[in-house]
Amino acid sequence: MNYSSSPIGIFDSGLGGLTVFKAVKDLLPCEKLIYFGDTARVPYGTKSRNAVISFSKEISGYLLLKKVKMLIVACNTATSLALPEIRRMSQVPVCGVIEPGVKAAIAATPYGGKILVIGTKATISSHAYAKALAKANKNIEVMEQSCPLFVPLVEEGWTDKAVTEEAALEYLAPYRSKKINTLILGCTHYPLIEKVVRRVMGNEVHIVNSAMAAAYASRQILQENNLLAKSFRKGPDRFIVSDAPEHFSKMADMLLGLKPDKVTIKRF
């Protein structure tokens, strides 16, 4: 079997992973993609560790049955809690979003400084970013802030509403006086409200988009494994959700300009 012509599987709890999907598509236009959004169980950030692991393994197993050549875990919560389990069950390379985000943040803060990580409650409670950052550079001071309202606001399509800015101010205003050098958007939903975060934090703070970092990391993994598509794949990419396909399709278009030809449902 010519695995280079196989699709890449990408999954997230809902819409947020579409930021990774779009970044991968822009960077690797010849690749065929299968995206799964677990819209029936979004958000993952408020779920228990065991629930997130169970959901992630279910979806990974489903995508592996589709003969994907690589899995991209486009969810920071799933990456922080379930990545080792997914790698153990997968016969193909697996890329999460935390390690690429950490590398990008370290590159942006090479001489040490203050890095603020924002994410879901589960991601922040895992301290996955803080541990990885401390290991990469001992001169980094890491601060962490959970922002649990951001995911439902994005899923509602309220990416530039007053309520979203009010939530951002509530979460982030205390850090404006702390001389933050770099801020990591530790959830793939958050790039969709990057402008709001920027307004609150100011232009002097470097913002790391973990979705874009994951796309570059995925390309490197495909290159190293000789899995890059050799030619353009004809036919549409596939979009699968566990609930509400109409809402998913509408938000994909409104938020990212993606126009899925068809969104199918897979329930577990």
Residues with active-site annotation = 75, 187
Determine contact, residues 70/92, Cβ cutoff 8 Å: yes
Nearest of 252, 216, 222, 264 to residue 19 by alpha carbon: 252
Residues ≥6 apart with Cβ < 8 Å to 58:
268
How far apart, in Å, do the first and last CA atoms of the chain sit?
A: 29
| 4 DSSP 8-state letter | G
| 171 DSSP 8-state letter | H
| 144 DSSP 8-state letter | E
Give the SS3 label for residue 55.
helix
Nearest of 114, 123, 110, 124 to residue 205 by alpha carbon: 114
Give the SS3 label for residue 39.
coil
Phi-psi domain of 142 (left: phi exceeds 0; alpha: psi -120 through 50; beta: other): beta
Length of the chain: 268
**CA-to-CA distance for 33 and 71, rounded, in angstroms?**
10
Burial of residue 152 (number of CB atoms within 10 Å: 0-12, 13-18, 19+): middle
Q: Which residues pair with 206 in a beta bridge?
A: 182
